Amino acid sequence: MAQSILLFLLAGLAEIGGGYLMWLWLREGRPLWLGVLGALVLVLYGVLPTLQPTSFDFSRTYAAYGGLFIVLSVLWGKVVDGQQPDTATLLGAFVALMGAGIIAYWPR
């Protein structure tokens, strides 16, 4: 389970980090190389979920990842952009994370 959680975290950081680099390039006029780097990181994001255990099919993997992505997005906003999440955002992220845990790790 620890390896699976690590893969989810790495995929989340790759998706958010790659998307953020693309954002900087396209929305904030930063250099092209940031966009290229962002694209490469997004390719890595596409690969990481395929390394989940074989018992995780595509829909289960991406549904569970979605909940974690919400939490990572809120954390990214706080740490990188200095945005303080409000109570509703924190509660919603917690609920999403609990849902992701159920989808991924509920005994079958």
Q: List pLDDT tens digits, range 3-48.
A: 989 999 999 999 999 999 999 999 999 999 999 999 999 999 999 9
Could you give the CA distance from residue 63 to residue 105 in angstroms, rounded to a whole number? 12
* pLDDT for 64: 87
CA distances from 86 to 45, 65, 73, 83 (A): 28, 22, 14, 9
Answer whether residue 75 shows pLDDT above 90. yes
> Scanning the structure block, which residue is given the tokens 């958010």?
16
